[in-house]
Structure 1
């Protein structure tokens, strides 16, 4: 039986819950249902929290796992069907869900771990400029590994098309020494070179700013981190696309919520439904996007 403790904390303008179990500790913000940090006891963190993170209402925190929904990235770069869902004027990057307050439905024991369930009530027709009715829930499973499942169920009477991502910031000792395995041979969109379509040769290593959309991804991608003697395994479900991002030196200096050298200690592998992998929900239909992250010694 799992034992756990829940403490309510205030970080800047944001209300958060710190949840500790027998195996790990999790910090989650009510705004965006955003996981801010996750760490197994006695080990380096698995998720990265920026030293200069800004905890402000209406702004996603540079950390953990922001929930990007009902679109990912710049809305104008999304397929027409996703763009057509939005009726507002200024479309914020990465959608609307990550800056709204979610409701904590409950925390319960589940085997050797915990199950935490949250929902976004506003997604049922009250999101500004997005007048569709979707039941949106996030289930977090906290144990030896961390699991997230984002489920969208169309409760309206017309189809709804979304793009989305669980935008995980993973912690590494030094991204210049790390590599990503599982992408070998995949096609990808090189967003830094006029969105050219290219093919990955070998494992992915990092020598500069990286912002790529990988297509037809396998279920598991891995970060090999020789300095920390570990392999982080990210196993996804409900997804055929992933975004891999690191801002490197120049871009990091432009980000007010990241230290100039913060890019060295993080790498984003974002479990996604983007590009040709967007989701159309017929009335009554649902879709779940999820991942599980854990690590092993190498």
Structure 2
């Protein structure tokens, strides 16, 4: 049975917890309940932390797994039902949850894993310009795989429609050598070409800026990294859409929290409910967005 050590740390302005076992190490920030880094002992990181990351209150960190909720990306690109939930004028990208402090409900060992649970109490009617009552929790299970479950329960008297994503930044040896399997034959939205719908031919490889919404995704996607002799697996539930993103050269140079060559070492595959996959929560309804992240040799 694995033994775990939990240490409270301060990174810039952010309160964090570093959790280590004999198998892996995990760093989590209270802001956004955001995983910042994760790696198995003796191996390269699985989740990528920018070496120019900015740890500032009110700013999501370029790292790990930001939680995008109750909308993903630009609100104006979301379906009208999602847009109509927000009553303000300035809608921050990727929603309201990722820059707020979550409440740590507990850290406990269960079988051969560690369970870390967070809640965002503000989601129960106190988010600015989003007057809905939703119980929002994130459960992180650190075991053989790293499992994340984002659960939304509508406590109000009217339906709530959300888009969301677990915006995972994966570490790769060189994105130009990596490929994503599981997307073969899928339709996707090419956001860099007027949001055209296209069809994926073969596995996805990278030769330029990439920002795509894949539709009707299967339960498993994987990143094949030949140089590190590794396959990263993503097994998801409660989702049939995924966003795959890499900023490449020009976009990376424009990001203050990413090195000019940082794009080479990361790849985002975001387990999501976006586009035609948004979630309508009727009163009392519950939805769980889940991904299990694992790795294996080639």
Q: Structure 2-normalised TM-score?
A: 0.99
Report the equivalent of 1:22: 22
Find the aligned partners of 1:53 and 1:290 in 2 and give their Cα distance.
26
Matched residue, 2:217? 217
User: 2:282 aligns to what?
Assistant: 282
Alpha-carbon deviations, 1:3-42, whole Å to 9, x = none?
A: 1111110000100000112311100000000000001111
Aligned match of 1:106? 106
Q: What is the distance in 2 between the residues matched to 1:134 and 1:144? A: 31
- Give the match for residue 67 of structure 1: 67
* Alpha-carbon distance in structure 1 between the residues aligned to 2:165 and 2:148: 11
Q: CA deviation at 1:146?
A: 0.5
Contact 1:21–1:143 under 8 Å retained in 2? no
Mapped partners of 2:118, 2:25: distance in 1: 18
Correspondences of 1:52-201 after superposition (within 5 Å): 52-201=52-201
Q: Secondary structure at the match of 2:122?
A: helix
Deviation at 1:101, TM superposition (A): 0.3
Does the 8 Å contact 1:40/1:144 carry over to 2? Answer: no
Contiguous gaps of at least 5 residues in structure 2: none
- 1:28–1:36 CA contact under 8 A, matched in 2: yes
Counterpart CA distance in 2 for 1:256 and 1:215 is 31
Give the total of aligned pairs: 298
Question: Hey, what's the Cα distance between the residues in 2 that align with 1:289 and 1:143?
Answer: 18
Per-residue CA distance 1:35-91 (angstroms, 9 max, x = gap): 000011111100000000000000000000000000000000000000000011100
Which residues of structure 1 form unaligned runs of 5+? none
State the 4+ residue runs in structure 1 displaced beyond 3 angstroms.
Answer: none
Partner of 1:243: 243
Please give the per-residue CA displacement for 1:130-153, whole angstroms capped at 9, x wherever unaligned.
000000000000022110000000
RMSD over aligned CA atoms reads 0.6
Q: For residues 88-118 of structure 1, what are the alpha-carbon distances to aligned partners after superposition, in whole Å with 9 as ceiling and x for unaligned?
A: 1100000000000000000111221101100
Query: Where does residue 34 of structure 2 map in the other structure?
Result: 34
What TM-score, normalized to structure 1? 0.99
Identify the residue that residue 272 of structure 1 maps to in structure 2. Answer: 272
How far did residue 2 of structure 1 move?
A: 3.2
